[in-house]
Amino acid sequence: MTYDRLVCANCAAPVSEGRCPVCRANRARLQQEGFFAGMNPMALIALLAVLIAAVALLAHQTA
């Protein structure tokens, strides 16, 4: 899940804005989880489609 859609229970603002210490701590934690954790789901689907196309192209060239 991307943190841009999360709402803080402490200040009722989006976590991505970082208005309170709880927001800032959670935003920092979510950013440290890795490269794919902060990506948009549509970007992950597009990346997967590109990888599948590349593998299919390589398989077609070797056959």
Which residues of the chain register pLDDT less than 70?
1-4, 33-38, 63
Most distant CA pair in the chain, distance: 59
Q: How many domains does the chain have?
A: 1
Query: Is residue 29 a contact partner of residue 21, using CB atoms and an 8 Å limit?
Result: no
**Enclosing domain of residue 54:** 3-62
Q: How far is 53 from 59, CA to CA, in rounded Å?
A: 10
How high is the pLDDT of residue 44? 86
How high is the pLDDT of residue 29? 80
